[in-house]
Each structure stands twice: as C-alpha cells, then as structure tokens.
Amino acid sequence: MADIILQDLVKIYGNIQSRRRRKHRSAADGKRAIDGINLTIPHGSFTVLVGPSGCGKTTLLRMIAGLEGITEGKIMMGDIDITNLEPGDRGLAMVFQNYALYPHMSVKQNIEFGLVNARLPKQEIAERVKEALEIVGLQDYAGRRPGQLSGGQRQRVALARAISKSPECFLMDEPLSNLDAKMRSEMRSELIELHEKLRSTFVYVTHDQIEAMTMGSNIVVLDEGKVMQSGTPDEIHNDPDCVFVARFIGDPGMNIIPLPDGYQIGFRARDVAMDATESRSDSVLIGSNIEATENHGSEFLYLLERHGQRFFVKEVSRRARPGGSPLHFCVDRADIYVFDSEGRRVYDAAESERVFQTFKSLWETP
C-alpha cells in the first residue's frame, strides 16, 4: 500500500535571489505559495484539497504531479522518493481543469498516447482503451475529435485517459468547474462510483466546499499555503480546529462572534432552537429582528444583527417570517464553539466554560 507522504514541502515562486535586486522583482517573486506542508494522503482514499482561490491547492497538486518545481522538502510514494522523478515516471495520472485533451487526435488516440509511450503491447493497449471507454460510457465516440464533443463528454474522455493507465493515484484539478450545474452533480456521483470501483487514491482539488463535503473521504483545508485542518468530512464540519475552517465549511459558514476579551464564539445557523422563551443555564437565549431573508425552498435563512454583529439562523419551514419581525432563538452550550484570539479552537474545558459564561452574560436577552 502506497500512501503519498509530503514532508516539509515549500514552494517559493520566482527568483529567490532577485529579492535583493528590487528593480527586477515581480509581485510573485519570493512569495511562499506552499509554506511547509506535512501531509499523508492514505492509499485508496478520496482526498479533497479545498480552500479559497490562491491558497495553493492547485500548486500543491502540480507539485505532486511533478509539473511544478519543489523549492524544499520531499514527496514520498510509499517508501519511494519521487521528488526528483519526471512527471511521467511518478505513477500518476492527472485530469485537468480544462481537460487538456490533444485537440488534433481522436478520442481513441488521446487515450492511446500515454500507453504507446509506455511501450505496451498492441493487444493490451486495445483492451485498456476499450475498457476505459466502457467505464465512462463513450464506446460510440472513439473516432470523434474533442472539438465534436460536449463539455461533459470531454471530461469523460479526460477521465478515460487517466483510467486507462491504472495509476496508483489520480490527480484531479477542479475537473468539474467548467461544467454546468446539472452535469456537475451527475459527474460528482459518477466520480464517487468510479472511486469505489477502482479503489485507487484520488487527490481532488476544488474551491467548492460542498463538493468537498459530498465527495471526499478525507478533506484537507488549505489557506495561504498551509494546512489548516485535515480529516473526515464529519470531523471537519463538526470539529473545526480554527475559525478559518469553521467559516469556510458549511452552508452558510459558521457564525463567528468576537467578544471584547479577544475570544471568539461560533455556532452554526441550523443549531438553534427557534421561538425559545425561557432561559436555561446551559444555553443562551438571543433575541433580534429579521434584517433579510433568503429562500432556500424547504428552508429559510434569516440574517440578524445584534451588538453590531451580523449572523444567520436557519429554519425548516413552509412559510417565511415577515421581514423586520422579532425573532427569539436559543443555542445550546453543546453547539457553541470557543476560539481564542488567534482563531484557534479552545479545547480546555475550564477556559471554554469561562468564555461561554462571558458570552452568555453579554448576549443573553432577558
């Protein structure tokens, strides 16, 4: 079993020396795109790298693929060091955001190209192409050119090209972002199915946290070239390590309320009891007026404001409450997350109890 292990990975763009010569320095020079990443991608997992744009997730993927140089650190595949290997020798296949199909070759030739370069016997090439096309359901399109296919079909060809090589690991760089919404959800479930069928490692990059939550068995949240947290979707969602992850994951992200002493309180929009009236010791009762309403069909999202802080609460209901009407809700102690002034989660029970009491004294509506 070959896990992918990243050790102290650093990527600095541009000429490091040119930092001294101001004149020739461009904005990207000397920027640490990847800033000391240590990470293990378990074999057979569906690992999703997720983060806002510019967080370095694509750079990280391309470093694993060997398309981007590595400034410092090591990449291991099981016990093989692949840091210095050519991209083609790393045992990976990649699916690009804009598919990167060879426009002048037919679908069949596109898939064959890598197999021919790997000097496979003809018989086996034919078998592999046939099977790969069957898996993605494009048997009838083998002779077409990419230009004659729809976006979804091109995406499948790119997948088939990767599948045919039966690599140890699939790398996917936002493969669904160029598809329309319907196609995207279709492909999403197909990719999950494919992963179950092939049982090889998937490393999947996306900026869409919903995509990450629905597809990944292992999620890595990145920001500014650093790993913020990694874990299963449940861990990431229910146990965020820091404010950044809490805000980034979930729809909407967690409400974060700063307290005067620097600590921060978080709770999720749906973890509230609506129309609560009586106050208990292990919960906070908050009252406010509805500022705005978002209709999500079967549920409603209300924007509220208190002490100059805006936050959302969610209610499953048939009918919306009128705008401006007062709303009382109650948050349980168990649903409240405490973060320190640096944005890190406070795990110490006594400390977090103290912060909770401060919050309750300030925010409780009589």
Which residues form the interface with other proteins (CB under 8 A)? 2, 65-67, 77-78, 80-82, 84-94, 96-98, 100-104, 113-115, 117-118, 120, 124, 127-128, 131-132, 134-135, 161, 163-168, 197-198
**Segment 40-43 long-range contacts (CB within 8 Å, at least 24 positions apart):** 40/3, 40/4, 40/5, 40/6, 41/3, 41/4, 41/5, 41/6, 41/169, 41/201, 41/203, 41/218, 42/3, 42/201, 42/218, 43/1, 43/2, 43/3, 43/78, 43/201
In the complex, minimum distance from the CB of residue 91 to other proteins, in angstroms, rounded to a whole number: 4
Q: How far is the CB of 159 from other proteins (least distance, A)?
A: 12
Nearest distance, CB of residue 165 and other proteins, angstroms:
4
Question: 3-state secondary structure string, 170-222?
Answer: EEEECCCCCCCHHHHHHHHHHHHHHHHHHCCEEEEEECCHHHHHHHCCEEEEE
Nearest residue (CB) to other proteins, 103 versus 262: 103
CB of 29 to other proteins, least distance (A): 16
Nearest CB to other proteins, comparing residues 77 and 246: 77
State the minimum distance, in angstroms, from the CB of residue 206 to other proteins: 17
Query: How many whole angstroms separate alpha carbon 320 and alpha carbon 300?
Result: 7
Residue 170, strand partner residues = 93, 202
**Minimum CB separation from other proteins for residue 144, in Å?**
16
Cα torsion 182, 183, 189, 195 to 10°: value is -160
Q: Which is nearer to other proteins, 45 or 164 (CB)?
A: 164
Residue 287 C-alpha from the chain's centroid? 34
Whose Cβ is closer to other proteins: residue 75's or residue 227's? 75
Residue 197, C-beta contacts closer than 8 angstroms, at least 6 positions apart: 135
Name the residue nearer to other proteins (CB basis): 82 or 313: 82
Q: Which is nearer to other proteins, 77 or 330 (CB)?
A: 77
Cα–Cα distance for residue pair 93/171, rounded to 1 Å: 6
The nearer residue to other proteins, 95 or 243, going by C-beta atoms, is 95
Smallest separation, CB 158 to other proteins (Å): 9
By three-state DSSP, how is residue 362 classified? Answer: helix
Our CB check for other proteins shows the closer of 128 and 314 to be 128
Here the tokens at position 49 are: 């790298």
Write down the least CB distance from residue 114 to other proteins, Å: 3
The residue written with tokens 């039966």 in the block is 166
* Half-sphere exposure at residue 332, Cβ-oriented, CA atoms within 13 angstroms: 6
